[in-house]
């Protein structure tokens, strides 16, 4: 029976909150949990204590998990202690292989599934206890062997027939007796096995280490156990399992050692072949899954990008024929704009995933009223719900506020007859700390998903409520996160539901329940993955539930509430984003001389016309050389330049402009245009000498606003 005494478990993480979370998961095991906040502290713990398992965080300052594991393995006491690496980074094969190469037994990725972690740790605790029991039994066996030395003849008779090798040594390691099986395993004679002859049979690569370890145990009167390789005089390599125990006199003094040697070559070979087979099978399965997901995603991406492109190109060709009436022309322009915006959203989703993978997605944190965020998201999906005649309800549960519905109780014959009530404003009860744009993106993703997968005349509900949780965990001067209270957002629908075998993958990137060409719903399968990452960045959680196919689904988001200690009575009104469909103001840039530099003809002509319609005097050129000449001939008030151009780019242009004398245009206010989307592009443009930065596709109103601001005009669009 394993010992019922608690064993030691070492938890190593530089974040105290992570240690608290691990303790909360493992405390039910009833074992002794030892905490360490650094690699150095963990090594100190290992000096005087034995541990059943070590949970080791990879990313730590000063000494990371890999360096700590290396030092742990260099110490005899902890050489074979199981190590489970914990990391918050995405899967990286080189890191995983590095961890296993250092002797790790497992590699878990955060957020950690509590039950999985607990079951793995429990297994190593049980193994540790059983090993202790085996060692105890080995000690009993050693005691029995001490009694058997009084019957030497009987011992020799037994050892001669033993299926394992048996040897006796004195306290200095000189071999005094070996049985026939021992000699057969080592491939040496009885005379060659005596004294230190056995050392010559050790593998040259391990000889010094094995002898040093055995000598250390012998000098301290301890038992020795190891598995290592031998080389016979015939050149045959064998794996052996060697155990030795001290023999004691009646006075308890060590007078020598008795040991056994067992040939385990067949077992080792079978283990290696089994491990290789498992690794090959796992690698093959992962490669096949990765290839399948990649192919499905690329096919879906191609479809999702080409479909709106087909509408854009088709209507563009019809417009060029100039044979459409006013109604058809308006429909064509609306279709082109809608599909262009759809393509822009697809690209933004891909860029968000790229930022998530690289850890570059940054939040602009401030107090946020979730009611306003949800209302804004509801307003953006209103037309989608009306188009499908979906009953759309927004319920604030804690205040028993009635729903906001997108479907009349008595539908008319029109395809769209929805109705939305005015927004309901609550300032304090549902305030969280977060990025309002990103939180709106989360709600928007959940709502558009619900509407997309809900059939005609279905129902979608978004419910906002407050639930209880843990005690407060952090605070600032003016506000604190009340971790004992959470805002809960639930989006429920009566749509197609989620298959039970897919619900565990619903938040994974590039995963879709249906990736075939016959699928009935569009999308890249990125929205929910982005939503989960954004929620987790806000210290919240998100999960999905569904009774099954065609039974609807519910997505639940929990965010820690923010308790405002000093509440302000005035609310800041948000300025609405410019609408791309709005008409451009006229004469706002009257008498403003603009030099436009862009090698792309379509972009250059489009922006030139838009600026001219706003009153600007525009000179458009295609290169850095032409721009420098134009500055002398046409001294502009504002310079607008594309970044990506052949031969010399926009950075080269602005650097050359800034080298000019002020009277020659060296201080011209400048705006950078680019289709690149890295966060570093904005910083690089400003560093190079631009005053402002605009990403393509460019909203004309946004660009005109920037020009007006730089030109110090006292009017606003």
Contact between residue 383 and residue 417 where contact means Cβ atoms under 8 Å apart: no
| CATH code of the domain made up of 8-142 | 3.40.50.2300
145: tokens are 């062997």
Q: What is the pTM of this model?
A: 0.40
pLDDT of residue 401: 38
On whether the 593-710 domain is CATH 3.40.50.2300, my answer is yes
- Whether residue 697 has a cis bond before it, omega within 30° of 0: yes
Cα–Cα distance for residue pair 640/616, rounded to 1 Å: 13
What's the 3-state SS for 213-239?
A: HHHHHHHCCCCEEEEEEEECCCCCEEE
pLDDT of residue 358: 61
Structurally, at CATH architecture level, domain 162-263 sits in 2-Layer Sandwich (3.30)
- Structural element, H or E, at residue 680: helix 679-688
Contact between residue 99 and residue 107 where contact means Cβ atoms under 8 Å apart: yes
- Structural element, H or E, at residue 34: strand 32-36
Q: Do 8-142 and 593-710 have matching folds?
A: yes
Contacts by 120-127 with C-beta closer than 8 Å and gap 24+?
A: 120/84, 121/9, 121/26, 121/29, 121/53, 121/55, 121/84, 122/29, 124/52, 124/53, 124/82, 125/7, 125/9, 125/29, 125/31, 125/52, 125/53, 126/2, 127/52, 127/82
Cα–Cα distance for residue pair 671/688, rounded to 1 Å: 11
Give domain 362-564's CATH number out of 3.30.565.10, 3.40.50.720, 3.40.640.10, 3.40.50.40. Answer: 3.30.565.10
For 561-600, write each residue's pLDDT tens digit: 886 554 433 333 333 344 433 445 557 888 899 999 988 8
Contacts by 190-194 with C-beta closer than 8 Å and gap 24+?
A: 193/167
pLDDT of residue 336: 79
DSSP track, 633-658 = HS--SEEEEES--SSS-HHHHHHHHH
Cα–Cα distance for residue pair 27/468, rounded to 1 Å: 23
Q: Which residues of the chain have pLDDT under 70?
A: 1-4, 89-92, 148-153, 155-156, 159, 290, 292-308, 310-311, 314, 338, 341-343, 345-346, 348-360, 398-428, 469-484, 509-525, 563-586, 675-681, 712-717
Contact between residue 462 and residue 441 where contact means Cβ atoms under 8 Å apart: no
Contact between residue 437 and residue 373 where contact means Cβ atoms under 8 Å apart: no
pLDDT of residue 293: 62
pLDDT of residue 620: 92
Residue among 607, 679, 602, 684 nearest 643 (CA): 684
Strand ranges (DSSP E) for 506-550? Answer: 541-545
Residue among 48, 51, 61 nearest 84 (CA): 51
Task: Assign 613 to helix, strand or coil.
Answer: helix
Residue among 696, 699, 639, 693 nearest 670 (CA): 639
Cα–Cα distance for residue pair 695/676, rounded to 1 Å: 7
Contact between residue 704 and residue 594 where contact means Cβ atoms under 8 Å apart: no
Cα distance from N-terminal residue to C-terminal residue, the chain: 81
Q: Please give the C-alpha separations between residue 494 and each of 78, 461, 553, in angstroms, as whole numbers.
A: 56, 9, 7
For 151-185, write each residue's pLDDT tens digit: 666 766 776 777 888 888 888 778 888 888 888 88
Burial of 185 (0-12, 13-18, 19+ CB in 10 A): buried
Domain locations along the chain = 8-142, 162-263, 281-344, 362-564, 593-710
When the pLDDT of each residue in the chain is averaged and rounded to a whole number, the result is: 78
């Amino acid at each position: 029976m394993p010992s019922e005494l608690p064993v030691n478990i070492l938890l190593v993480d530089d974040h105290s909150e992570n240690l608290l979370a691990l303790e909360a998961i493992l405390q039910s095991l009833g074992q002794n949990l030892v905490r360490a906040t650094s690699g150095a502290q963990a090594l100190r713990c290992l000096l005087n204590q034995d541990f059943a398992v070590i949970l080791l965080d990879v990313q730590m300052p000063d000494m990371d998990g890999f360096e700590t594991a290396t030092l742990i393995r260099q110490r005899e006491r902890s050489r074979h202690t199981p190590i489970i690496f914990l990391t918050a980074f995405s899967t990286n094969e080189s890191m995983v292989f590095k961890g296993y190469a250092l002797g790790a037994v497992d590699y878990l990725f955060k957020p950690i599934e509590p039950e999985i972690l607990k079951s793995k740790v429990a297994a190593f605790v049980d193994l540790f206890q059983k090993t202790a029991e085996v060692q105890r039994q080995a000690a009993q066996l050693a005691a029995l062997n001490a009694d058997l030395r009084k019957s030497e003849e009987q011992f020799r008779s037994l050892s001669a027939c033993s299926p394992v090798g048996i040897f006796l040594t004195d306290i200095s390691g000189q071999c005094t007796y070996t049985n026939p099986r021992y000699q057969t395993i080592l491939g040496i004679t009885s005379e060659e096995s005596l004294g230190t002859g056995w050392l010559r049979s050790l593998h040259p690569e391990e000889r010094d280490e094995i002898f040093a370890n055995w000598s250390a145990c012998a000098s301290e009167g301890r038992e020795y156990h190891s598995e290592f390789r031998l080389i016979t005089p015939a050149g045959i390599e064998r794996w052996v399992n060697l155990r030795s125990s001290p023999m004691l006199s009646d006075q308890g003094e060590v007078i020598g050692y008795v040991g056994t040697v067992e040939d385990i070559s067949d077992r080792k070979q079978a283990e290696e072949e089994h491990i290789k087979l498992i690794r090959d099978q796992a690698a093959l399965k992962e490669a096949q899954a990765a290839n399948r997901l990649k192919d499905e995603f690329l096919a879906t991406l191609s479809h999702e990008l080409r479909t709106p492109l087909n509408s854009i190109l088709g209507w563009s060709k019809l417009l060029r024929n100039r044979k459409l009436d006013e109604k058809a022309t308006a429909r064509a322009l609306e279709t082109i704009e809608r599909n262009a915006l759809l393509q822009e959203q697809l690209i933004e989703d891909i860029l968000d995933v790229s930022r998530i993978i690289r850890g570059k997605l940054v939040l602009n944190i401030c107090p946020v009223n979730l009611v306003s965020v949800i209302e804004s998201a509801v307003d953006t999906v209103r037309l989608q719900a009306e188009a499908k005649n979906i009953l759309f309800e927004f319920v604030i549960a804690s205040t028993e506020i009635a729903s906001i519905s997108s479907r009349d109780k008595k539908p008319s014959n029109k395809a769209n007859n929805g109705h939305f009530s005015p927004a309901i404003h609550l300032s304090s009860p549902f305030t969280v700390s977060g990025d309002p744009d990103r939180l709106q993106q989360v709600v928007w993703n959940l709502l558009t998903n619900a509407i997309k997968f809900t059939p005609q005349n279905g129902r979608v509900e978004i419910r906002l409520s407050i639930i209880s949780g843990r005690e407060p965990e952090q605070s600032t001067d003016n506000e604190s996160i009340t971790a004992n209270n959470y805002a809960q957002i639930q989006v429920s629908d009566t749509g197609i539901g989620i298959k039970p075998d897919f619900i565990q993958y619903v938040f994974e990137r590039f995963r879709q329940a249906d990736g075939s060409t016959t699928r009935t719903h569009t999308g890249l399968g990125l929205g929910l993955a982005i939503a989960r990452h954004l929620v987790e960045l806000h210290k919240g959680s998100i999960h999905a539930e569904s009774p099954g196919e065609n039974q609807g689904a519910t997505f639940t988001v929990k965010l820690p509430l923010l308790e405002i200690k000093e509440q302000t009575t005035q609310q800041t009104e948000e300025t609405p984003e410019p609408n791309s469909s709005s008409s451009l103001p006229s004469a706002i840039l009257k008498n403003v001389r603009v030099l436009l530099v862009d090698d792309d003809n379509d972009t250059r002509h489009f922006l030139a016309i838009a600026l001219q319609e706003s009153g600007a005097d525009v000179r458009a050129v295609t290169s850095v050389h032409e721009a420098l000449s134009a500055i002398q001939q046409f001294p502009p008030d504002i310079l607008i330049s594309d970044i990506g151009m052949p031969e010399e780019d926009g950075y080269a242009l602005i650097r050359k402009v800034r080298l000019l004398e002020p009277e020659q245009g060296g201080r011209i206010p400048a705006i950078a245009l680019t289709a690149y989307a890295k966060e570093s592009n904005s910083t690089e443009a400003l560093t190079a000498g631009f005053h402002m930065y605009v990403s393509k596709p460019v909203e004309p109103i946004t660009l005109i606003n920037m020009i007006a601001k730089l030109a110090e005009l006292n009017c606003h669009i």
